[in-house]
């Protein structure tokens, strides 16, 4: 009998190709893993509501979202790490003065502090979700937020990095930066899950391609960087597979011996 392992997959550039499509070979590979009794999980920077359809399509109920700030195991919330609201309020005031919009995000929705802005449409549009934040400048009040988006051209986030030490700022688009709780990462979210599952490190796997995957890939014992990953991402992974466009998931799972 195959010993059960857990496999964490990033979404964009890993499970989904650059057209935001799920390759047939990837879908089939995921179900083969499940048939063998393995646990398939997602580890992403996306909000839960941004990949609900993918979870349903792949029948996945365990995930690390918001780069580790909102973690679910078998459909139940296991760990949350919200933003410090007082600091976020100050950051928002500064951003408004600089004409830099903010989007507030919890586990269910996202709201913008300005009615509309081209930076928001441009960056979120690249996700091809048909989801755009409506306007609610008070959405941060009285609720836990796990991530915000700061919209500013590359380089203009330097002031925020210097001034707001409760947050990490991770650029994901030429005009958009993730605002996360300081020190939060996919690796921490994964640790919460594997501790609960009690699986040894040799039966833990992770696939990713982005800069926000580096801590995950350097921490998980059997880490796999996609062929389309940047060189510095590949350098921290144990294995390198083919590109997402070239059946990279299937090739990688065979390479590590899971299929």
Indicate the Cα dihedral angle 171, 172, 177, 183, nearest 10°. Answer: -60
Q: Which of 181, 170, 171, 173 is nearest to 146 (CA)?
A: 181
Q: Is the dihedral of CA 228, 33, 189, 54 positive or negative?
A: positive
Q: Quick count: other Cβ atoms within 10 Å of Cβ 227? A: 16
Q: Which of 10, 12, 106, 213 is catalytic?
A: 10
For residue 214, the surrounding DSSP H or E stretch is helix 214-219
SS3 98: coil
Distances (CA, A) of 24 to 9, 17, 40, 127, 240: 16, 11, 17, 20, 21
148 within 8 A of 120, measured Cβ to Cβ: no
For residue 258, the surrounding DSSP H or E stretch is none
Q: Quick count: other Cβ atoms within 10 Å of Cβ 59? A: 10
Structure tokens at 221: 């014992």
Structure tokens at 201: 């490190």
10 is catalytic: yes
Indicate the Cα dihedral angle 141, 142, 146, 152, nearest 10°. Answer: 0
Residue numbers annotated as active site: 10
């Amino acid at each position: 009998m195959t010993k059960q392992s857990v496999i964490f997959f990033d979404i964009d550039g890993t499970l989904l190709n650059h057209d935001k499509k799920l390759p047939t070979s990837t879908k089939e590979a995921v179900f083969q893993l499940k048939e063998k009794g393995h646990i398939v999980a997602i580890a992403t920077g996306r909000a839960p509501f941004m990949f609900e359809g993918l979870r349903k399509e792949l029948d996945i109920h365990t995930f690390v979202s918001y780069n580790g700030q909102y973690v679910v195991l078998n459909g139940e919330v296991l760990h949350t790490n919200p933003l410090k609201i007082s600091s976020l309020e100050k950051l928002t005031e500064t951003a408004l003065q600089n004409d830099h919009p903010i989007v507030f995000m919890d586990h269910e929705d996202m709201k913008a502090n300005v009615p509309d802005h081209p930076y928001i449409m441009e960056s979120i549009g690249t996700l091809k979700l048909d989801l755009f934040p409506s306007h609610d400048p008070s959405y941060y009040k009285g609720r836990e937020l796990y991530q915000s988006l700061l919209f500013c051209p590359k380089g203009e986030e330097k002031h925020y990095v210097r001034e707001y030490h409760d947050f990490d700022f991770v650029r994901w688009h030429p005009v958009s930066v993730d605002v996360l709780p300081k020190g939060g990462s996919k690796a921490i979210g994964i640790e919460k899950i594997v501790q609960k599952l009690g699986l040894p490190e040799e039966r833990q796997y992770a696939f990713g391609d982005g800069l926000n995957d580096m801590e995950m890939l350097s921490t998980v014992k059997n880490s796999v960087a996609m062929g389309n990953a940047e060189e510095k991402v590949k350098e921290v992974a144990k294995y390198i597979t083919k590109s997402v466009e070239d059946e990279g998931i299937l090739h990688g799972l065979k390479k590590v011996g899971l299929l």
